[in-house]
Amino acid sequence: MGKNFNMVAKTLFGLEEVLAEELRKLGASGVTPGRRSVSFMGDLGFMYKANLCCRTAIKILKPISSFPVFSEDDLYTKVKRIPWEDFMSADGTLAVDATVHSQQFTHSKFIALKTKDAIVDRFRERESRRPNVDLAHPNLRINLHIDRNRCTVSLDSSGGSLHKRGYKTAITLAPLNEVLAAGIVLLSGWRGQCDLLDPMCGSGTILTEAAMIACNIPPNLNRDEFGFEHWPDYDEDLFATIEQAALNKIRDFQYRIQGFDLDDKALSVARSNVKNANLGEFISIQRQDFFSSEKSSDRPSFIIFNPPYDERLTIDVEDFYTKIGDTLKRGYPGTQAWMLCGNLEALKSVGLRPSKKIKLFNGKLESRLVRYEMYSGSKKAKKQ
């Protein structure tokens, strides 16, 4: 295929190493984790593959220019020098996203506006016409990042955020981001090797992402479009080849994925989302109180869930989390339980010692992904 170039995959805090491993397995070179990002090398086909197959990436960016910048006018001048006609036409549409970490530049919206002005002025001066702004569905989405006095201009090959898989047409009161859900499953080490239960499944995001992981289904197969499909160098045949190669790697799954919830609306939403993802044959969802449930087989299993906490719902936190610990101890021997909790105090009420804690963010809320090992018999006997 074509020549390799630099790319940057954006992700959530705590998922950098997970994404780096995903990229390595897909075939990227020069994989280097950063803060909420992973840089890597690949060709045009790999850019398509990364967008289609990365479960923990939010965006795949293609940097096209990097330069020192010292003022708004300096930014305008240097952005205007970029040959934007190579990336879009004057009849097209654009959108600019800007992030700034700088004492000199403090207003990201103003920086985005200044960047847009430079681009449209270049077209106006060269062709006497200019592209329009379309924040929803632009032909070209541009990402501008300023770190102190270093500006990096990138093309956003993904378009909309990659967490928007396309299967979630309805949501519940505190929906879990699809990228975070996939990251939790991957961090747990579950790859489809045993049964899995989400006992408080909400809109079914963990269930759906887990099923796609177990079956090796590309997570973004149901998306309407990617940003690169509007680029002048888009190779439709190459993308079709990449897509077919990914589809050929889908595998069967022999175990059970189950979801429980008590809320009828949540159950309806979860079933609808699972159906939209064409995963109904792998996932069963039922109305069940986790606190009165128990493990239905002697086989090893995983529990992965994101229980409610007082930031989202009004509950008696101490009592609720005590019941979680009691239920795990009583009803789920031989189970590895992973729980994402956004209330760090609530974890003390579980009454179990976690064997692992991982810092993550659920939106802006600092959270912990904790692991509890529920042994069959005593822990001492298990070790022996």
Q: Are the C-beta atoms of residues 190 and 304 closer than 8 Å to each other?
A: yes
The token pair that represents 50 in the structure block:
């990364």
* 3-state secondary structure at position 148: coil
Residues of the chain with CATH 3.30.2130.30: 5-156
Q: Which of 157-171, 193-207, 326-340 has the lowest mean pLDDT?
A: 157-171
- To the nearest 10°, report the CA torsion of 59, 153, 80, 70: 140
Report the candidate in 145, 160, 41, 154 with the shortest Cα–Cα distance to residue 102. Answer: 145
- Give the pLDDT band (50/70/90) at residue 308: confident
Threshold 0.75, pTM exceeds: yes
Closest CA to 198 of 259, 146, 131, 138: 259
**Is 380's pLDDT higher than 60?**
no
Greatest pairwise CA separation for the chain in angstroms: 80
For domain 5-156, give its CATH number from 3.30.565.10, 3.40.50.1950, 1.10.3720.10, 3.30.2130.30: 3.30.2130.30
For residue 156, report the phi and psi dihedrals to the nearest 5 degrees.
-90, 105
Question: Up-side HSE of residue 68: CA atoms within 13 Å toward CB?
Answer: 1
CA distance linking residue 11 with residue 363, whole number of Å = 12
User: How many C-beta atoms surround the C-beta of residue 106 within 10 A?
Assistant: 11
> What is the tens place of the pLDDT at every residue in 70-122?
999 999 999 999 999 999 999 999 999 999 998 888 899 999 999 999 999 99
Start-end of CATH 3.40.50.150 domains in the chain: 178-217+239-383
Mean pLDDT of the chain: 94
C-alpha–C-alpha distance, residues 29 and 243, integer Å: 20
Name the pairing type of β-strands 5-10 and 59-68.
Answer: antiparallel
CA atoms of 225 and 164, how far apart (whole Å): 11
Tens digit of pLDDT for each residue in 215-273? Answer: 999 999 989 999 999 999 999 999 999 999 999 999 999 999 999 999 999 999 999 99
**Closest residue by Cα to residue 84 from 74, 73, 72, 96:** 96
Q: CA distances (Å), 51 to each of 16, 26, 42, 44, 213, in order? A: 16, 11, 12, 11, 16
**Residue 360 scores a pLDDT above 50:** yes
Residue 353 has pLDDT above 70, yes or no: yes
Instruction: Give the per-residue SS3 of 159-194.
Output: CCCCCCCCCCCCCCCCCCCHHHHHHHHHHHCCCCCC
CATH 3.40.50.1220 fits 178-217+239-383, yes or no: no
258 neighbors 196 (Cβ within 8 angstroms): yes
